[in-house]
């Protein structure tokens, strides 16, 4: 009968000790990571805003930075990195350490339009970021000079088809969400509309007020005073439902344009591989801030309707709109330099 082998002979003992050491190191590393995440945030957080100071996007970012900082117990510092329709600032965050200390305020167009209109975009909106949550929606309104003959969407479409030269509409620029709203309107209805791009929404509105351009697609916040004064009139909102701030303005869908839902939105994302625990904490605190009446009032004054939700909901919106706007851009042949 052969001798019974001692399971702790030298060879097996070394293997056992190596395995135990590996398990101990792995456990220590996991504990260290959990400890680091539980202590987060231990220093100020940078919120990259990929646009210049001023305007709806920057304002909403600063509102959220202030109240998110209060809830996290650390200052959230806005850092404006404008350029290339948001591409420059977005690249900064895509390349940042995924440690929860660098976040990005994202405007819809940067993530769902830029990849289609620029030949090269230095980031992938799906691959390079972890979504945190949407901040809110900004209502877009199609407005007209008071002397314009059409008073609703059906009259506009019929009028444009009767004019060989078409009807001009101004926007904040080529490749903007409002530009694509106009292109989608043309593609869905056959309306004879001519796009006039401006360097920003303000000059587009100014020309509509003066009657130089009969129509303009603009954010509700930028035209609300002109609508109240009667210097501009609203033809409709390109949304699936009426705006809370402007319940008297009919939607495009109510004018017979089924499934026409163009919403401009702003949200928060972090570099991909940011620890899940940190992303979940940020989503929780963001939603808590958005439920605060003071935050909601400030956002509404800036033209943003707060929309608390999950990180997954924002990710689904990005995926859906990448497909939608990709089709619109391709059909219209829109390209940026």
Domain with residue 178: its CATH number is 3.40.190.10
pLDDT in the model for residue 22: 54
Same domain, 109 and 151: no
Residue 179 has pLDDT above 80, yes or no: yes
Same domain, 183 and 229: yes
Domain count, the chain: 2
Q: Is 170 exposed, middle or buried (0-12, 13-18, 19+ CB in 10 A)?
A: buried
Domain membership of residue 278 (yes or no) is yes
**Residues whose CB is less than 8 angstroms from the CB of residue 308 and which lie 6 or more positions away in sequence, other chains included:** 133, 134, 286, 287, 290, 291
Q: Which of 225, 255, 285 is the last residue of a domain?
A: 255
Q: Which of 255, 287, 314 is the last residue of a domain?
A: 255
pLDDT in the model for residue 322: 97
Domain hosting residue 309, numbered range:
44-138+263-332
Same domain, 147 and 251: yes
Provide the whole-model pTM: 0.84
Cis-peptide into 41, omega within 30 deg: yes
Same domain, 174 and 222: yes
Domain membership of residue 204 (yes or no) is yes
Same domain, 284 and 145: no
Quick one: residue 211, left, alpha or beta (phi over 0 = left, psi -120 to 50 = alpha)?
A: left
Across the chain, which distance is largest between two alpha carbons, in Å? 109
Same domain, 118 and 147: no
Beta-carbon count within 10 A of 142 CB: 22
Confidence tier at 303 by pLDDT (50, 70, 90): confident
Residue 8 has pLDDT above 50, yes or no: no
DSSP 8-state secondary structure symbol assigned to residue 51: S
Same domain, 100 and 166: no
Confidence tier at 135 by pLDDT (50, 70, 90): very high
Same domain, 172 and 247: yes
Q: Which of 255, 287, 308 is the last residue of a domain?
A: 255
- Which residues lie across from 170 on neighbouring strands? 196, 216
């Amino acid at each position: 009968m052969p001798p019974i082998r001692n399971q702790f002979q030298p060879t097996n003992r070394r293997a056992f000790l190596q395995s135990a050491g590996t398990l101990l190191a792995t456990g220590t590393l996991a504990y260290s990571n959990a400890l680091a995440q539980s202590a987060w945030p231990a220093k100020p957080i940078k919120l990259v805003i990929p646009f210049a100071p001023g305007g709806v996007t920057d304002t909403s970012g600063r509102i959220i930075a202030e109240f998110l900082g209060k809830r996290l117990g650390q200052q959230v510092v806005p850092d404006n990195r404008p350029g290339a329709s948001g591409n420059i600032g977005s690249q900064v965050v895509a390349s940042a350490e995924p440690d929860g200390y660098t976040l990005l305020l994202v405007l819809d167009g940067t993530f769902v339009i830029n990849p289609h209109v620029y030949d090269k975009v230095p980031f992938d909106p799906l691959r390079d970021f972890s979504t945190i949550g949407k901040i809110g929606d900004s209502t877009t309104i199609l407005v007209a000079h008071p002397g314009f003959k059409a008073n609703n969407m059906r009259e506009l479409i019929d009028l444009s088809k009767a004019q060989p030269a078409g009807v001009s509409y101004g926007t904040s620029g080529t490749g903007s969400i409002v530009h694509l709203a106009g292109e989608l309107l043309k593609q869905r209805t056959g309306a004879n509309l001519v796009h006039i791009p401006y360097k920003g929404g303000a000059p587009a509105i100014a020309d509509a007020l003066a009657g130089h351009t009969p129509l303009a697609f603009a954010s509700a916040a930028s035209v609300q005073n002109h609508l109240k004064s009667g210097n501009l009139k609203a033809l409709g909102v390109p949304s699936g439902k009426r705006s809370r701030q402007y319940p008297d303005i009919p939607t495009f869908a109510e004018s017979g344009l089924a499934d026409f839902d163009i919403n401009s939105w702003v949200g928060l994302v972090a570099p991909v591989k940011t620890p899940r625990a940190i992303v979940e904490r940020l989503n929780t605190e963001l939603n808590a801030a958005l439920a605060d009446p003071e935050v909601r009032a400030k956002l509404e004054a800036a033209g943003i309707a707060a929309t608390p939700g999950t990180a997954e909901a924002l990710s689904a919106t990005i995926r859906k709109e990448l497909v939608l706007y990709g089709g619109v851009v391709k059909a219209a042949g829109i390209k940026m330099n």
